[in-house]
């Protein structure tokens, strides 16, 4: 019976918390004991080392005068006797005497005995009898030196340096002094450690492991899923319950509560799945390790993957096309805020070449570990509508300009260019028809041509033709602006886009608003002339044209100075800013809060659609992944700041 009990105790201790507690407590106690013991031993060593240094200094004080006298009197025999006497002291392992080599000391020589350092700091051992030097290879030996000068005061009261003495002790001497103390310290630590280990072993078994074994049996019943059964605790005295016995009662109550919670959880899960499936967006929830926890029917429509095949699987394994946007999940969990990307394509999705999606990732930090909910919306139709709306607004903004320019310029422009060209031809002295007409009228064509050149009339005619060509280029620029943007972004020089917008604005404003653009003081500050960015150039030009027109319309025709500022700056390798400022009437806060709302306008009926700034913001923020901010002060003016990425995200 005793043997069986011992085996049972050994088994329990081997697989119980007592063993772990013993390991932890014993490890901590052992580290503390070792630390305290080492500190104690170090203290004893330093104390003995200090005693050794004090002893060396006492020996120094006792022998200094004798050594100085023997050297001064050139008494080599007495000097050797003193050195051998010093070497025989149990504190000293080596002595070294250095005597300056000069004419007065020719009879005296340096002397060394035992363990000393040579002139280059190497450890050597000098035989006291033969003076033979042997290098010491034991790297554990550390000398404890005491160095002092040997001086002699002559009859005239002068103090003369006649030598330098080195007394060496070593760590070996110190270790011999503390050896017995070390043994006692180590034995004391071992006895304490073993006693504590036995006590914890006994206490842990009777007060922890044995009661927990009963509790383990009860937990096994609960782990089998027997939630409706009562757990019976085992105790000899039912009136005396320990904390562990009380846990059995708690388990009984917990089993009943757990059964009720399980029923409610099943009902809640069904309700949540129904809500998840009725949402009009494709939704999936994943853990921070990309394990799928939820998958609604719209995700199945987009991916073609059934919910039963997706649940508890890795998102990237089931839906590899999402790997391109995995960074959104990481950013949402790291920054604890939703992340989104708009108007993107998802590879391997049916008809993906013609479909655009809006992806939003919401962090769910209320659970542990945190999860995210991924929402995917098909915005192909919405984007098409926005593009159509932008095109309509663009046509509305330049329609009047194109009609006006075509009417006011195209017809007279052709006549001007043709007439100027004909005048130049008919003044040419080398043309045969001109020569014949001049001969009939007796006109000297060469003199006439010389007169026209001297009076710069030919130059004026060339200027007329050049101005006509410039006007033709303006018309072409307007026609180019009316064309629809291409489907894909390309790199374009943003400075050229700004200059084209200014050229269009100068004509458009003069025609539509009856304001002479020359009255406006244009302050242009472009950081560089070769900044290229990914963009839809005509849409960026549309935004600039709209903002410039709004800035001019915000100016009071009666104000003495009308200033329009346009600046371009590259704030980093990946971002640029375009700033458009005016010194017009400005906007109050209540209007600023509504300027981006579709169909909101402060213009009279028939003069504005209210879509200009709404479309502009959509072009900058949604299509170009940029930012558009506005600042305005009533009576001082308004500033729009557009931020655009140099390279668009893929």
**Digit-coded pLDDT (tens) for 112-147:** 888 988 888 888 888 888 888 888 888 788 888 998
Contacts 24+ apart (CB under 8 A), 421-425: 421/465, 423/461, 424/458, 424/461, 424/462, 424/465
| Structure tokens given for 81 | 């006797």
Measure the N-to-C terminal CA separation of the chain; round to a whole number of Å.
77
Closest CA to 527 of 583, 582, 578: 578
Predicted local confidence at residue 537, as pLDDT:
87
Q: ∠ CA 508-511-517 to the nearest 5 degrees? A: 70
DSSP letter at 63 equals H
Q: Using CA atoms, how far apart are residues 247 and 235, in angstroms rounded to an integer? A: 13
CB 643 within 8 A of CB 626: yes
Q: pLDDT at position 214, please?
A: 63
- Which tokens in the block code for residue 520? 């406006």
The answer to whether 572 and 643 have CB atoms below 8 angstroms apart is no
Nearest to 624 by CA among 480, 487, 489, 485: 489
pLDDT at 599: 60
DSSP 354-367: G--EEEEEEEETTS
Per-residue confidence (pLDDT) for residue 616, from 0 to 100: 87
Output the furthest CA–CA distance in the chain (Å, rounded). Answer: 153
Q: CA–CA separation, 247 vs 257, rounded Å?
A: 15
* CB contact burial 370-392 (16+ within 10 A = b; e otherwise): ebbbbbbbbbeeebeebbebbbe
List alpha helices for 406-493, DSSP H. 411-426, 432-440, 445-454, 457-481
Helix, strand or coil, per DSSP, at residue 123: strand
Q: What's the rounded Cα separation, in Å, for the pair 446 and 428?
A: 9
Phi-psi category of residue 314: left, alpha or beta, with phi > 0 → left and psi -120 to 50 → alpha? beta
184 — phi, psi (to 5°)? -65, -40
The DSSP 8-state label assigned to residue 314 in this structure reads B
Alpha helices in 482-617 (DSSP H): 494-512, 537-553, 589-592, 612-617
* CA 622/CA 344 separation, integer angstroms: 11
For residue 485, give the DSSP letter.
P
Q: Enter the pTM of the model.
A: 0.35
Give the pLDDT score at 566: 93
Cα separation of 613 and 77, whole Å?
112
Averaged pLDDT, groups of 10, the chain, 650 residues long: 59 62 75 83 85 89 87 84 87 87 67 87 86 85 88 82 88 83 81 79 69 68 67 57 69 74 74 71 85 84 82 86 86 88 76 76 84 85 67 56 58 71 76 77 78 78 72 59 58 88 71 64 82 88 88 83 90 90 89 75 51 80 90 91 88
Question: What's the pLDDT score for residue 605?
Answer: 42
For residue 263, CA distances in Å to 256, 257, 266, 546, 597 come to 11, 10, 5, 62, 49
What b/e sequence results for 71-85 when a residue is b if at least 16 CB atoms lie within 10 Å of its CB, and e otherwise? bbeeeeeebeebbee
Cis peptide before 369 (omega within 30 of 0): yes
| Under 8 Å between Cβ of 114 and 93 | yes
Token digits of residue 264: 């409610």
H-helix or E-strand spanning residue 341: strand 339-344
DSSP conformational letter for 296: -
């Amino acid at each position: 019976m005793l043997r069986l009990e011992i085996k049972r105790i050994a088994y329990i201790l081997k697989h119980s918390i007592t063993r772990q507690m013993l390991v932890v407590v014993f490890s901590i106690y052992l580290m503390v004991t070792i630390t305290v013991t080492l500190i104690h031993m170090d203290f004893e060593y330093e104390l003995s080392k200090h005693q050794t240094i004090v002893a060396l200094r006492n020996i120094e004080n006792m022998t200094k005068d004798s050594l100085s006298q023997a050297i001064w009197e050139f008494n080599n025999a007495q000097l050797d006797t003193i050195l051998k006497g010093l070497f025989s002291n149990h504190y000293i392992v080596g002595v070294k005497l250095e005597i300056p080599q000069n004419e007065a000391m020719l009879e005296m020589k340096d002397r060394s005995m035992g363990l000393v350092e040579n002139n280059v700091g190497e450890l050597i051992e000098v035989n006291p009898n033969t003076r033979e030097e042997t290098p010491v290879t034991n790297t554990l030996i550390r000398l404890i030196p005491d160095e002092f000068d040997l001086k002699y005061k002559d009859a005239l009261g002068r103090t003369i340096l006649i030598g330098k003495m080195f007394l060496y002790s070593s760590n070996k001497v110190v270790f011999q002094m503390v050896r017995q103390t070390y043994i006692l310290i180590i034995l004391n630590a071992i006895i304490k450690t073993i006693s504590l280990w036995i006590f914890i072993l006994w206490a842990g078994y009777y007060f922890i492991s044995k009661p927990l074994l009963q509790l383990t049996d009860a937990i096994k019943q609960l782990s089998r899923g027997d939630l409706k059964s009562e757990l019976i605790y085992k105790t000899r005295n039912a009136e005396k319950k320990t904390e562990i016995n009380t846990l059995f009662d708690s388990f009984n109550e917990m089993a009943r509560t757990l059964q009720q919670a399980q029923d409610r959880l099943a009902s809640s899960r069904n309700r949540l799945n129904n809500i998840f499936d009725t949402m009009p967006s494709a939704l999936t929830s994943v853990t921070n390790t990309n394990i799928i926890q939820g998958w609604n029917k719209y995700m199945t429509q987009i991916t073609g993957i059934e919910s039963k095949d997706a649940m508890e699987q890795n998102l990237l394994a089931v839906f590899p096309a999402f790997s391109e946007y995995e960074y959104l999940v990481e950013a949402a969990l790291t920054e604890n805020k939703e992340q989104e990307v708009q108007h993107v394509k998802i590879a391997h999705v049916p008809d993906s070449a013609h479909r655009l999606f809006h992806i939003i990732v919401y962090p769910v930090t209320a659970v542990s570990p945190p999860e995210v909910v991924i929402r995917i919306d098909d915005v192909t139709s919405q984007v098409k509508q926005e593009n159509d709306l932008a095109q309509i607004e663009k046509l509305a903004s330049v329609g009047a300009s194109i009609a006006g320019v075509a009417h006011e310029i195209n017809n007279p422009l052709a006549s001007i260019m043709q007439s100027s060209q004909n005048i130049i031809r008919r003044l040419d002295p080398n043309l045969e028809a001109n020569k014949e007409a001049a001969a009939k009228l007796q006109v000297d064509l060469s003199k006439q041509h010389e007169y026209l050149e001297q009076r710069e009339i030919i130059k004026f005619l060339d200027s007329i033709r050049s101005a006509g060509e410039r006007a033709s280029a303006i018309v072409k620029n307007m026609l180019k602006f009316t064309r629809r943007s291409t489907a894909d972004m390309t790199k374009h020089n943003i400075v050229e886009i700004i200059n084209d917008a200014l050229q269009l604005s100068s004509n458009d404003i003069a025609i539509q608003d009856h304001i002479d653009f020359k009255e406006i003081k244009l302050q242009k500050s472009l950081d560089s002339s070769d900044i290229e960015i990914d963009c839809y150039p005509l849409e960026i030009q549309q935004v600039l044209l709209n903002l410039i027109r709004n800035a001019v319309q915000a100016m009071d025709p009666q104000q003495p100075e009308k200033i329009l500022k346009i600046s371009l700056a590259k704030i980093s390798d990946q971002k640029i800013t375009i700033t458009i400022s005016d010194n017009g009437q400005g906007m109050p806060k209540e209007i600023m809060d509504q300027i981006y709302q579709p169909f909101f306008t402060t213009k009279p009926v028939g003069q504005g659609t209210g879509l200009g700034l709404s479309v502009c913001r959509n072009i900058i923020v949604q299509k170009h992944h940029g930012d558009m901010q506005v600042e305005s002060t009533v009576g001082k003016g308004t500033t729009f700041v557009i931020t655009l990425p140099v390279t668009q995200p893929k």
